[in-house]
Amino acid sequence: MDVLSAASQGPIPYWTVAWPAGLGLARVLAREDLRGMRILEVGAGVGVSGLGAAVGGAEVLVTDNVPAALRVAVMNARRNALHVRAAAADWRHWPFRPDARFDRIIGSDVTYEPAAFDALLTVMQESLKPGGDIWLTDPGRIMTSAFQQRALAEGWCWSTATLPHEGRQAVFLYTFRRRNEKE
């Protein structure tokens, strides 16, 4: 990241880094039995978490607003003998009709840009099946609590779990559900 931010002109290409929160989420998903589940990954970058879900047996759609990221994600899947589908999709101009077809939505390190929170929450609301859940990870970013407050106002609740460190980075898993579906 130090090299990237010094060398980048324009927006920093965050997608080029496999973030610790993504590695942590991938490890958890890879240990789950996800056969029969349809999973949407938002802000996938190079697709590490989505690949973890594919290891668990899920049918995975990885999305990002940077097409180059998805090309790398698909290449990563091929090299690991996994299958994922990939589609360029920006939360602010979501290209899919609202059809609530995913059992789970996953995303790692995607709650850092407040201007995008409402759009991301709309994608969550429209893409998740009734009874589904959303697994987001991050290293404990301050901005994530602002995202959670927006989510709370939109009818979501969440629980937090601490995952093993990735190198020196802490990783937190936030599991969101619609409040009226809370068990």
Ligand X SMILES: C[S@@+](CC[C@H](N)C(=O)[O-])C[C@H]1O[C@@H](n2cnc3c(N)ncnc32)[C@H](O)[C@@H]1O
Q: Does residue number 138 form part of the binding site for ligand X (CB under 6 A)?
A: no
Q: Does residue number 125 form part of the binding site for ligand X (CB under 6 A)?
A: no
Question: In the complex with ligand X, which residue's Cβ is closer, 28 or 116?
Answer: 116
Q: Does residue number 171 form part of the binding site for ligand X (CB under 6 A)?
A: no
The count of residues interacting with ligand X (CB under 6 A) is 21
Report how far apart, in Å, the C-alpha atoms of 154 and of each of 15, 70, 100, 127, 151 are.
28, 30, 17, 15, 5
Least distance between ligand X and beta carbon 49 (Å): 6
Question: In the complex with ligand X, which residue's Cβ is closer, 4 or 181?
Answer: 4
Q: Does residue number 108 form part of the binding site for ligand X (CB under 6 A)?
A: yes
Q: Does residue number 102 form part of the binding site for ligand X (CB under 6 A)?
A: no
Least distance between ligand X and beta carbon 150 (Å): 15
Find the helix packing angle between 117-127 and 142-153, rounded to 10°: 50
Residues numbered 46 to 65 that lie near ligand X (CB under 6 A) are 48, 64-65
Binding letters toward ligand X, positions 58-97, x by CB under 6 A: ------xxx--x--------------------xxx-----
Chain residues in the site for ligand X (CB under 6 A): 14-15, 18-19, 21-22, 43-45, 48, 64-66, 69, 90-92, 108-110, 116
